Amino acid sequence: MTLDIVVVLVIALVAVILFATEKLRIDAVALLVLSSLALTGLVDTGDALSGFSNAATITVAAMFVLAAGLQNSGALSGIGNLLGSAKSPLQFLIMLFAILAVIAPFVNNTAVVAVLLPIVMAATASIGMSASKALIPLSYVSQMAGVCTLVGTSTNLLVNAMARDLGHPGFTMFEFTSFGVICFVAGCLYLLTVGRWLLPEARNPELVEHYELGKYITELRVMPESSLIGTSVGEAKLGEEFGVFVLELLRDNQKVWSPRSQTLEEGDILLARGDWSQLDELRKDAGLEMNAEFKLKQHSFEDVEQVLAEVMIAPQSRLIGSSLGMLDPGWHHDTTSLGIHRRGQILREELRHVRLQVGDILLMLLPESGMAGLRKDTNVIVMSERQPDKPGGWRAPFALITMALVIGVSAMGWAPIAVTSLVGAVAMTLAGCLDAEDVYDAIDWRIIILMGGLLPLGIAMSQTGAAQFLVENTIGLVSSYGPTVVLAVLYLMALLLTEFMSNAAAAVLLTPIGMSTAKMLDVDATPFLIAVTFSASTSFTTPVGYQTNTMVYGAGGYRFSDFVKVGLPLNLIFWALGVIFIPILWPF
């Protein structure tokens, strides 16, 4: 083992730990990796910066713009009406899967779920179906469909780009389609039968009419006329009377010890948790007010000019990492943050100090006139009411034709996908399918930085021999059993890595290992690269393994165990299908 191999493996190990623990943003980790490789001389300047000029990086950025153009032009506006016409939950799911089969292979699946999430929730409410029966399938099937083409996910493009850099000829637009269709059909059948039975039957929140997506945490200030003054939280029996639970008592911006036994005074702030209707009822009955920290002032919830909206923090949001206290002055909407819902976690700190995460749901008060701007904001996904129908006109068919030409021209081999997607993004912008200033907001820059920063790691692992060293000391232990067993082990390794870290990072680490494995066995590398692509692009077992899972985790009211219960069998099905069909479709 050389010194270069040791350094590369240390950098890779630190990156894996940082990705898994989420101590730093994924793009920050990628830049740290890039800087470390460059400073240690493991890659030269050209290779260090090659990730940002790579065709895959350009393609992913352009595809984000194309997806935004499809959404903003109204090309997808008829989906809600179509889903709302379903006569039964089974028919609804079949229609949803058919829609995803058409859209997700050609539009980034994160963008697809962001567009369809509020539509699916409104449609399930209209037919009396529990949203929890539809949102995990929405996430899973978008992943299944996305892996069917080269452009369906950023991971597909990333593996293709790295493979080309390492000497592989790469993949065509529909290289993955044959195996992708097999997995898609098997996965849909599972979700329509066994998976449907395993999904929880949660109460449908009916977001359009009620604002009770989940348990919100908010701050209530004790006013001079409050009936709670002179009593303790325990004596007031707020849990029994209102279903509201006080998590902390803040007095002079300090947490008070044993909040349930403290006698309440004017100006005390209760950090309370409950359904929003219960919190609002307590506010009215007990003489409390929303903490002035969030600039509620004297707005009334009954004011006809004010609108309550529930919004989810989107995966690409620039609000991620921002504190609630800085949200209002730092955001261009005239909104007031009233409460926050974070699935699987009870917040016990002052809300102004809470750092926002992907999937957090905020309850906001804003002027009715501001709803149009809020719906257009790509930093959030409006959950509380259906997306309004976009005006038809010529832009909707123009966006669809443009997208078809981008895919078709590339598939025919007339121009690279990086060129056609870039031209298509420019065409949609010039046609007004989205505003020029919205182009930059449409791109998930964290993914772009992640790709640009991590691609050199794959080059370093290959050039230094680190990938070969890992193969010989891990997968090499089962090499005597033949390439099919090695393929099964590699697929399983990728599945495990993807569940606990970024799928793109897992693909970067395992692509050079796949290439080295083929070299060790003296067989074609394609089957191993296909295994890495599919395993890294389909993460079902945890809500943090893939961005779409995180998005539906809070919105569907799921528990962590729901993903394990439904997703683990599906991952094992895909693993078995991979071991059986990949060697048949791409012989060693």
What is the rounded distance in angstroms from the CA atom of residue 580 to the CA atom of residue 560?
30
Q: What is the chain's mean pLDDT, rounded? A: 81
Identify whether the C-beta of residue 62 lies closer than 8 Å to the C-beta of residue 424. yes
Which pLDDT band holds residue 395 (cuts at 50, 70, 90)? Answer: confident
What is the rounded distance in angstroms from the CA atom of residue 123 to the CA atom of residue 106?
24
What is the rounded distance in angstroms from the CA atom of residue 519 to the CA atom of residue 468?
9
Instruction: Write out pLDDT tens, residues 410-437.
Output: 888 888 888 999 999 999 999 888 888 7
pLDDT of 438 strictly over 70? yes
3-state secondary structure 176-221: CHHHHHHHHHHHHHHHHCHHHHHCCCCCCCCCCCCCCCCCEEEEEE
Domains, the chain, in order of start with CATH, read: 3-203+400-585 (no CATH), 216-382 (3.30.70.1450)
pLDDT of 363 strictly over 80? no
pLDDT given for residue 142 in this prediction: 93
pLDDT of 304 strictly over 50? no
Mean pLDDT of 459-464: 85
CA 85: distance to chain centroid? 28
Mean pLDDT of 252-261: 75
pLDDT given for residue 314 in this prediction: 77
Which pLDDT band holds residue 485 (cuts at 50, 70, 90)? Answer: very high
Instruction: Write out pLDDT tens, residues 145-203.
Output: 999 998 888 888 889 888 888 889 989 889 999 999 999 999 999 999 999 899 887 54
Q: What is the DSSP string of 495-519?
A: HHHHHHS-HHHHHHHHHHHHHHHHH
What is the rounded distance in angstroms from the CA atom of residue 503 to the CA atom of residue 576?
20
Burial (Cβ within 10 Å: 0-12, 13-18, ≥19) of residue 209: exposed
